[in-house]
Amino acid sequence: MKTESVLEKVLASGQMAVTSECGPPRGSVPDKIIEKANLLKGYVDAINVTDNQTAMVRMSSWSSCIFIKQMGLNPILQMVTRDRNRLAMQSDILGAYAHGINTMLCLSGDHPKFGDHPMAAGVYDLDSIQLVRMVKDMRDEGKFQGGADIVNPPKMFIGAAANPFADPFELRVARLAKKVKAGVDFIQTQCIYNVDKFEKWMEGVRERGLHKQVYILAGITPMKSVGMAKYMKNKVPGMDVPDEVVKRMSSVPKEKQAEEGIKIALETIERLKGVEGVNGFHIMAIEWEEKVPEMVERAGLLPRPQV
């Protein structure tokens, strides 16, 4: 075991892991984060805490993580390279670890253009792969990126994202290989609607033996309505929603679309349980966190293991 991370322990035990996420509030209101995290208690192994997601200012990921940690739950510190340089990132990692946060997800982050501060400077001192390497070297070499020794190095279980659906497809497995080479421990994927394409990507992953070197959690986001399906299909870059999914959502009356969205998500989980190399699920119910417990239960992923 590389770390004290509960997520690492669950994954190492060979059981399917379940994670979900919590977006911090747009204000100094800790109650919101506590309320959201409470919904997930007992249903997931760890909770991702987003870092200024979609480039909108929110309460910082690490401070929100501390609230969740204090509830006895396991937060995953998300960190984007968009907002901080390597000094700031390393100091936040030290601080987070000092508060007992031992799992993190390394991302480049959405471009400022998509958020509410499109005029902000994008820092990008590092990219996500370089961040993975930096955190790994902090953990395994006990060194800062600048080369100096760290007193009590932070032992982070290191995650990263993968989007099997973005272009060029031929590079997507290679990019995962790069993340593995950089030292990533687990991957949470982009939301999966095109299951065939995902399976094709997983084939490539297995061909290169990457599934033996990294845990892969499949990203699942239930659709609330046909409107959301169309929005995801047409407006969200790098998102692959096949026509038949939109058709299926629109084939049921409006009041039943939410249930249809959940059903599609559950069917996806069921199918992916049988795919070699899929080690768990990352369920992102966007502004619909209250549905996660029901989904986990209906997917047969309860009880969560005690490790």
DSSP strand pairing (46-49 vs 75-80)? parallel
Residue 213 binds to other proteins (criterion: CB under 8 A): no
Site mask, other proteins, residues 238-267, x = CB under 8 A?
x-----------------------------
Report the alpha-carbon distance of residue 196 to residue 210 in Å, rounded: 19
Burial 220-238 (b: 16+ CB within 10 A, else e): bbbbbebebbeebbeeeee
Toward other proteins, which CB reaches closer, 95 or 122?
122
CB 188 within 8 A of CB 179: no
Question: How many beta carbons lie within 10 A of that of residue 184, not counting itself?
Answer: 27
**Which of 127, 225, 230, 271 forms a contact with other proteins (CB under 8 A)?**
127
- Least separation, in Å, of the C-beta of 128 and other proteins? 8
**Which of 19, 50, 190, 268 forms a contact with other proteins (CB under 8 A)?**
190
Can you state the angle between helices 128-136 and 169-182, rounded to 10 degrees?
Answer: 20
**Which of 29, 174, 302, 307 forms a contact with other proteins (CB under 8 A)?**
174
Applying CB under 8 A, the site for other proteins has a residue count of 34
CB 192 within 8 A of CB 219: yes
Residue 143 binds to other proteins (criterion: CB under 8 A): no
Q: Give the binding range for other proteins (CB under 8 A) out of 10-18, 42-50, 161-169, 269-277.
A: 161-169
**Which of 161, 262, 292, 295 forms a contact with other proteins (CB under 8 A)?**
161
Question: How many beta carbons lie within 10 A of that of residue 41, not counting itself?
Answer: 13
Residue 150 binds to other proteins (criterion: CB under 8 A): no
Residues that bind other proteins (CB under 8 A): 82, 86, 108, 110-111, 113, 122, 124-130, 133-134, 145, 161, 163, 165-168, 170-171, 174-175, 177-178, 181-182, 190, 237-238
